[in-house]
Copies of this chain bind each other. A is one copy, B any other.
Amino acid sequence: MYKEKEKVEFEETCQLFINSVNNYFGHLTGEVSQTSVPYLKTVDNVMLKDYTGMIGISGDRKGFVYISGDTNLYKELVTLFLDIEEPSSSDLLDMAGELSNVVSGNVRETYGKNFMISVPIVFKGAPEKLKFPKGVPIYVIPIKWKSHEAFIVIGLN
């Protein structure tokens, strides 16, 4: 069973991801993002949006985090940062990797060496099913930036 102490720890981790993503958008784009209250997901098959940057977590706790968003969110970021008006699919994949890497990298800095992250792996589109291991609690944090929607999904033991 998922215990109270672990729940509190997990919610602290979610808060670090929320701060990190809001800092990212606020500082780098000049336009703040809104995040909604994280909710615990019980169903395995979490919906993915157009582009997803996924990062493995290891150390004291083990799991995964991903940020998934619509094409237009990443398009707008590429245009803003790289001044490319018509980004290629490869530019968007790189941007999705970069966003998840920077956001997770900041959380990693707060936790120190017992919270380690892999490189990001990125998909365009979604596989038929996506599953975290049994017993790994999964939180979802909805993000809104300008008119674009995205979310952070964290599965962590």
Residues of A that sit less than 8 Å from B by CB: 44, 48, 52, 54-59, 62-64, 89-90, 93-94, 97, 101, 116-134, 136, 155, 157
Contact = CB atoms under 8 A, between A and B. Distances in A.
Contacts of A121: 54, 56, 64, 130-133, 155
A59 B56 contact: no
B119 A63 contact: yes
Contacts of A94: 131, 133-134
Nearest to A117: B58
A29 B59 CA distance: 31
Contacts of A54: 121
Given A119-B132, A132-B121, A64 B58 contact: no
Given A119-B132, A119-B133, 11 more contacts: A56-B56, A56-B64, A57-B58, A62-B118, A63-B119, A89-B129, A122-B130, A123-B128, A124-B131, A125-B128, A126-B127
A42 to B, nearest CB: 14
A121 to B, nearest CB: 5
Contacts of A129: 89, 93, 122-125
Given A125-B128, A126-B127, A62 B155 contact: no
Given A56-B117, A59-B116, A94-B134, A124 B122 contact: no
